[in-house]
Amino acid sequence: MATKLYVGGLPYSTQEDALRELFSKAGNVTSAAVIMDRMSGRSKGFGFVEMSTDEEAQNAVSMFNGQDFEGRKLTVNEARPMTPRTGGAGDGGYGGGNRGGRREY
């Protein structure tokens, strides 16, 4: 079963092929993705790599977590499942509190 890894601390110039090439040193890479900002089109400095086995994933964590990559220290660990987002404009909540204006006494 494939294991997905979170990779943080990536240089903003890192492309998916470079990420795939780096992690292939630890085993078979099923997929590699660098997360991009929708507005600017720039990398957010993190991504995900999926390794084909749990053993290869653990090997990648031990090989790359805390290591320097193009001048930045990587954070590599098993990715947590995505949780549903709450709050924001999409779910109708407006928040509370006084937004200013004239006070009535």
Confidence class for position 54, pLDDT limits 50, 70, 90:
very high
User: CA 66, 76, 52 angle in degrees (round to 5)?
Assistant: 135
Average pLDDT rounded to a whole number, residues 71-95: 77
> Could you give the domains of the chain?
3-80 (3.30.70.330)
Whether 104 has a pLDDT exceeding 80, the answer reads no
> What is the tens place of the pLDDT at every residue in 8-32?
999 999 999 999 999 999 999 999 9
> What is the tens place of the pLDDT at every residue in 29-47?
999 999 999 999 999 999 9
Whether 100 has a pLDDT exceeding 80, the answer reads no
Q: Residue 101: left if φ>0, alpha if ψ -120 to 50, beta else—which one?
A: left
Q: Which residues lie across from 51 on neighbouring strands?
A: 3, 29
Average pLDDT rounded to a whole number, residues 93-104: 55
**Tokens linked to 36:** 């991009």
